[in-house]
Each structure stands twice: as C-alpha cells, then as structure tokens.
Structure 1
Amino acid sequence: MKLEYTGSEQVPLGKPDVWSFINDPQKVASCLPDVQQVTVHDDKNFDAVVSIGLGPVRGKFKFKITLEPQAGGDRMNVRINGGGFGSVVDLLAGADLIDNGDSTTTLDWDGSATMRGPIATVGGRVLDAQAQKLISGTFANVKTRMAGA
C-alpha cells in the first residue's frame, strides 16, 4: 500500500530560524504526534516510539528517523523506517523552505509512505487516516512549536 500527501504551513519565523529548528533531532522528535519515547543518537539520527490507533486496535510503532538536510538550506527530507503490529512502514517526508520576505517562512511539505504487512492488508482507510495524521500533524506541530519559540 502506497500513500502520498502534500500540504503547506506558514511559520512566523525567518528562514534561518526555521532551518535551525528542523535540523535539531530533539525538536523534530517533539513534533511527532503521540510520541512516547525518543532516543537521539547523533545530530541526524534518532529513534521514536509512537502510539498508534487503528480503529479498535491500539499499540506502538517504533521508528528509526534520519534528518537529511539538502545543500543550500532550502529543503529538508526526513526518512522514517520502522513498524509495529507485524507490519513495516517506510516513509519519506520533506519540506521546501520558502522565505516570504516578511520574517515568515512557508514549509511546502510532501510525504509518501509504503506499508507492508497485516496492517496494510486490513487497514485500508483507517491506515490512510493514521498516516495522514502522522505526516500533517508533525508539520502542524513544527509550526506551533516554532511560533511559541
């Protein structure tokens, strides 16, 4: 099962501040919805345990997450691999940073997820909604956390 998403968030900070925030694994990890535990390994890699609810089934997914800043400071990619419930998730999300010229930055984001295993087989719309929540919720949380900074 392959899922794709796009969206946009306007952040009330200049591009250098946004770039600094999204290059900090601890700050990025704090933006994951329903995060239970984070282990930062270095300046680009961390693990996260996230609570997932798929209909009446609740559990935890464990993810290995890698920040992949692109040269020039205009795009950040985030690679997420892991799973739970006997299923595997491979997710690539990214955001283009656009300086709006008024001390705000737009994050034009996209994400695609591939899921394999029992959850992908039976999850259908519920799984699609959960993946959408994870991706869009993370970027919305980035905006909220930076606005409060």
Structure 2
Amino acid sequence: MDMQGSRQLAVTQQQAWQALNDPEVLKACIPGCDSIEATGENAYALVNAIKVGPVSAKFKGNIQLADVNAPESYTLNFEGNGGAAGFGKGSAKVVLTPNDAGCELGYTVHATVGGKIAQVGQRLIDGVAKSTAENFFKRFDEEMQQRHPAPAGAEAAPAAVAQPARGVPAWVWIAGAIVLLLGYWLLRS
C-alpha cells in the first residue's frame, strides 16, 4: 500500500521541524494517541487507539527515525500491533520545504497491514484514513497557530488538503507516525 500527500503550514520550516520532534505536540495532534515516549536515539514507543468499522484496538508500536536531515527531511520506520485486530508496518518519507507562505510538509508512505483490520474492506479503511489524516492536520495547524500566531494584519496561508493515493489506507501512517502524519505523523531538533 502506498500513500502520498502534502500540506501547507503557516509556520517556518524550523518551527514545523521542532513541533514534529516534540512528543507532546504529536500526542495532542494524533487522533486516539495515548502516549509517545522516547526509547533511545531517534526511537519512540507509541500507544494509539484505532477504530475502523467494527474493529477497534489499541495499537502498540515502535518508531525509528532514519536518514535524518534536519530541518528538511527524515524517514520514519514503524511497526504496530493491535493483537487480534491486526498489525501495520512500513515507512514514511517526510519532507519540509520552505516557501513564501511558511513551509510545505510532504510525505510518501509505504505500508503493509494484516489481521481483522485489513479484512473490513479497502473503501472503509480509506474513509477512516482520510478522516484521521485530516483530523491530524487540523489539530497540528491549530497547535502551530497557538504556538506561532501570525503577525497582526497577516493573512493565514491556505491549507492544502492531504490527498491519499488511490487504494491507500492512510490510517497506517497516522497510527505509525502519524503516527504522521500526518505522521504520526512523528524527530529531534
């Protein structure tokens, strides 16, 4: 499974990078996130509740960051297990590109899922994935606006909509990064 998307952020590349490296920010922004804790250099443990149709579970996972190029990009490798509900594993490449409006967060995800959660149907998974990704980005945008308010009289940058590639369950990225995310998903400054 593959997914890609981007989102315009009204903050600088450095501000976005720092927020994506802050477990408290990610915990507040990832839907269903119970905890994110550092377990070593560029390594984190994550507990996240996920519900897809009739299947719901707490996924416990590990995230390992690789190819870290601060404040521009990194690769996030993740794996999560929800017991009988299933599992997810994969990687996400995240890139922050500065521009006149702040920066753009782009991501490409490759993931594998299995178990009951994979059996509920691609269309249902895709719907939940899109909703979860949008929820993450909305929360992340709000958090960034609170931490870095725009100067008086400045217009906020329009937010681009994350677009999953055809047939891709984005919830894997959110659960692993986003888990970002949306990652999830999500780094050291």
Q: Which interval holds the TM-score relative to the shorter structure?
A: 0.7 to 0.9
Q: What secondary structure, in the 3-state scheme, does the structure 2 residue paired with 1:21 have? A: helix
Q: How big is the shift at 1:43?
A: 5.3
Q: TM-score with structure 2 length normalisation?
A: 0.64
Structural mapping, 1:1-149, within 5 Å: 3-42=1-40, 44-68=42-66, 70-71=68-69, 73-86=71-84, 87-102=86-101, 104-149=102-147
Q: Distance in 1 between matches of 2:134 and 2:90?
A: 13
Per the normalisation by structure 1, the TM-score is 0.78
Per-residue deviation at 1:108? 1.6
- The two structures, once aligned, show a CA RMSD in angstroms of 2.5
**Structure 1: 5+ residue runs without aligned partners?**
none
Determine if contact 2:72/2:97 at 8 Å carries over to the other structure.
Answer: yes
Spell out, residue by residue over 1:115-148, the C-alpha distance to the aligned partner (whole angstroms, 9 max, x if none): 1223323443223333444455434433332222
Task: Letter of the 1:88 partner, please give it.
Answer: F
The SS at the match of 2:95 is strand
Residues 26, 40 of structure 1: 8 Å contact kept: no
**CA–CA separation in structure 2 for the residues paired with 1:137 and 1:76:** 22
Deviation (angstroms), 1:113 = 1.8
Q: Percent identity?
A: 25
Report if the CA contact (8 A) 1:48-1:62 is conserved. yes
Q: Aligned with 1:33: secondary structure?
A: coil
Q: Which runs of 5+ in 2 are unaligned?
A: 148-189
Q: CA separation in 2, counterparts of 1:97 and 1:124? A: 29
Partner SS for 1:145: helix
Query: What is the count of residue pairs matched by the alignment?
Result: 146
* 8 Å contact kept, 2:17–2:70: no
SS in structure 1 at match of 2:128: helix
